[in-house]
Amino acid sequence: MPVRWKIHLLFVIQLVSMGAMEMSGPFWPVHLRSMTSSDDLFTFASVGVYVGPMLGIMLTSTFWGRMGDRFGHKSMMIRALFGLAATQLALAYAGDVISILILRFLQGACAGYIAPAQAYGVSIENPTHRAKLFAYLQVSTNVGSLGGALIGGVILDLASFFWINFSAAILCALCMVSVWAMLPYVSAPIAKPGDAGAGAQKPGPSILRSPQVISLLTIIGVLLLGRMVTQSPFPIYVLNTFDVGNWVVGLCYGLLAMGFVATASLWARYFEGRPAREVLSGMCLVIAGCVVVTFTAGLTGSVIVFAAMYFLWGMLLGATTPVLTTLVSRSAPDHQQGHLLGLAQSTAQLSSIAGIALGGWFAQVAGLSNIYFLVGFVYLVGLVLTAATRVGVFQKARPAELPGE
């Protein structure tokens, strides 16, 4: 099978599997509310049902990445999809809140599909096309999230919540079979004498001692934290601020993903092959744009302007995580890609949890109306970190040490 078709197959599998998981995503609070009459338990469960999988991925993603480096990333993709299918099937039959929360945590701990899929793509794709690869796979995740939420709503209107989870289990099982039958096995890369850290028995410390990797992961974490601050209070903010219907809430939420999908590949093509210092210079401008957009969203009283800002925000986000992940990937040799991308995935989950918690706390303390000013401030911090990394880390590094140069 040609490499291009393998990449397209990865796109489809990630779209279907992530879409299957998002079928239940927006509707867990509805299901949990029907299972308990305790307001305290419901509040705890409605947060835990989303944080649990993130926590599971955060704790195990680096470990699974290192296993992929040792045994091959295809086997880790099969393992992850099996974990998703098994836990979704168990969730379909789960009859109490505590069981659901435990299964959701196990789902994250046993699954973690995105990191091995990225590492597998890196192992078969031309290194000069990694930015396009990461953008392409993240587009599949966003499209899958949009489609999955829509299909899940249709299923819930026509049937019960059981069929959402049961259908998701079947789809994940089909994806697992597709990976096993259609994607070739790629042997785990062997460390070469010229690779950084080659010959070391434990590649993790060499990665964690790299100021480039640490700085880039910190920037990614701060940007994702800013993105997730509004995750929980978003629907209430839109309803209270603009006095609109629920469909407008859904539209504004979807415009963020639509903006990402519209521009991610274009940004990847623009930054492809550029030196790391030049990429970070461009990233400073992108993050500055995020500051302006989020401050504008917090100031406007027009839902049309707010929706436009969300679409622009999504367009700018299309340049952040895929391009920065490419720089992270370029900072390590092939035999450490699984470990490094797993570490990036753990960072993303930790940042998402922190963003959700920070947004909920800030809305209570400072008021919901100020939430987008917090987002803008977080992006300002990210801008300062990116500029400092551009000057302090990559400026001082020897040319031979700069990723992609």
* Pair 317, 227: CB distance under 8 Å: yes
Residues 6+ apart with CB under 8 A from 168: 20, 21, 23, 24, 84, 88
pLDDT at 220: 93
Does 199 score more than 60 pLDDT?
no
Does 191 score more than 60 pLDDT?
no
Report the chain's mean pLDDT, rounded to a whole number: 83
Provide the phi-psi class of 74: left if phi over 0, else alpha when psi is between -120 and 50, else beta.
alpha
Percent of the chain residues past pLDDT 70, beyond the cut? 89
Rounded to whole angstroms, the Cα distance separating 399 from 404 reads 10
Rounded to whole angstroms, the Cα distance separating 396 from 74 reads 38
Query: Mean pLDDT throughout 210-221?
Result: 87
In this structure, is the dihedral angle defined by the CA atoms of residues 328, 332, 335 and 340, taken in order, positive or negative?
A: negative
Q: What are the distances in angstroms from CA 298 to CA 108, 242, 250, 293, 362?
A: 33, 12, 18, 9, 14
Query: Mean pLDDT throughout 195-221?
Result: 64
Residue 201: which pLDDT band, with cuts at 50, 70 and 90? very low
Query: Mean pLDDT throughout 203-219?
Result: 72
Query: Mean pLDDT throughout 154-179?
Result: 91
**Side chain identity at 53, as an amino acid letter?**
P
Q: Where are the alpha helices (DSSP H) in 125-245?
A: 130-158, 161-182, 203-208, 211-228, 234-242
Lowest mean pLDDT among 98-102, 189-193, 218-222, 297-301: 189-193
Cβ density class 234-250: b for 16+ within 10 Å, e for less: bbebbeeebeeeeebbb
Helix (H, G, I), strand (E, B), or coil: what is residue 102?
Answer: helix
Domains defined for the chain, CATH in brackets: 1-181 (1.20.1250.20), 203-399 (1.20.1250.20)
Does 41 score more than 90 pLDDT?
no
Higher pLDDT, 385 or 158: 385
Q: Which two tokens stand for residue 292?
A: 């302006």
Q: Record the pTM.
A: 0.73
Closest CA to 101 of 38, 27, 50: 50
Residue 345: which pLDDT band, with cuts at 50, 70 and 90? confident
